[in-house]
Structure 1
């Protein structure tokens, strides 16, 4: 059974049912039933037209679930059978529209971020509720309720205007940043879905996000040590980076930048590309990275971007320049204390750096980061006590 094929066909099949008149919740349920039937039937009797098979079975499931009158149901089934041949002729042409419709529906502004992510993984990604629940470490019943509420929210929503690409990309990036947990690799799943979106829509920011994901994912194997501790970027073994993903990411990014429609994901990807392209940490082109952070700050006006820029300034122009850039930012920003600790250490003020590493550890968003910052503080305190 080709699970990848089934999951890749899911959004277009759901989109076709919605286009035929099914509401989103009913269409998604019918397609899930068809996928279950495919798992049962296909190993012994694989169809010549997998997508057409799924459309036929899902549409029948939808009719069975919504038509109480048996005679009317039989009549409509006959109509479906007669129409399938002509429908298949035009379904391939409309597949892009159907897929895009589904992406935009799952990332509808009326949904919370968590609901949009869950619905995207279920309807577009083709994951089961159990898989999504395991990935997000919540009970299956909780995830089922979240998905059910999301489906009710978007049922009946008409997308008669162009969808918000930025919202779709934000949802996909949220999925990517969840990384890996349970039995689903969400980072890989996000890359797969973004590739699918890039094939369906010609938009430089979609390409920018795909490039960014590939460039970050290329370093994944080196981000943690065997004991699970974090490995900072300068200490990572660059020989273990995925050079094919880096080359692909840079190629996609260059094509997007050539269109001269810069967006935040392209700017982030450009920064990631400069890190990935440097043969050693010492040879990183920090001057260009600062320039890209300037572009990113102009695009987003994000305090977190300015914090990262301050660290880059510290690398390009010296730690005191970095501390000056950091001084104008709110010290309650996430990772502000960690950035200040690093810059003070580079400036030789180990006492202040150690104190700030302890402060940053207390505010760390996860255990791995807290342990890393605690070790940094211990390292400096041990060196000072010699």
Structure 2
């Protein structure tokens, strides 16, 4: 009886690991392709007329830039925003300095005096007490009166036509959130570069099935009237905020031509620390948005379960599959083979982490396994109450 239970747990865990990493992405692409073709055939004429009717009236936009100890990038960010191609009278830019302990606020004020920035409607809000990113977003966005709000990171530069492209997408009244395409100026590792290309493809497929799951905080735009203040301990605000809008019945879409270019390169330790925090937020958002798993949400529920929910469970499922295979190996050549394959994969990943391998597969395995290790530790930290939802600046590891 004991062996039967172990077999069931091991097989189920292994099947879910394979499904999440291999079958789900393939299935998602296939379903998205079918759904896109059907939607284009049914709605092309209607959607074209709707968009044309709205393009004559551009929406007002508030750009909110939460900043904490960002003196390295703040000047370049302000210059970038001041140069965006959009009617100046329709844009208000707010640099929200959250109790910075460096010269972020002073540099921001100085940059406003530069010729390129003088005509832009830019306000620097220098909050003296550090309250955390979520508190800043709640405070600033709640006081906005524009049609749209853009949230963007300091270290991400935007394409000059970003606002125009976003405004065109919001001509569709069913759209509540528009996501940018996140690009790296310089990836911290080959695995990181592969990961973000993979994530970009996944988000496009999710959008083709109805709505993307969350956004990347580098840049996204949403309808201001749909905003509801976030709980103060929220970790992944760039997931909870857009998904709260999707839960209201609006779509979240991926815009390939709205580009957010990340200028800050990360080393492996910096990336690992960031993923620990994101993973803690993944467990939090799974609990808080669990109603999205209900079948009434259709493809959204399917994507949330297959993508986000299984991502939280994945390190535990991987451990169960390995331990179960080792337990059953002495009595079954099949499970002995499966145990050997898992040990080989994890050994290659560890080798790739410890040594800068040039092999593409080894790089991908190293980044994947390191990510699941971060996910395991991050979820445990959240379960133990060690993640409080307050942001902290993750910087590169000092070089010896």
Give the TM-score, by structure 2 length: 0.28
Greater per-residue strand proportion: 2
Give the TM-score, by structure 1 length: 0.29
Q: Which has the higher contact order (CA 8 A, sep 6+)?
A: 2
Greater per-residue helix proportion: 1
Structure number with bigger Rg? 1
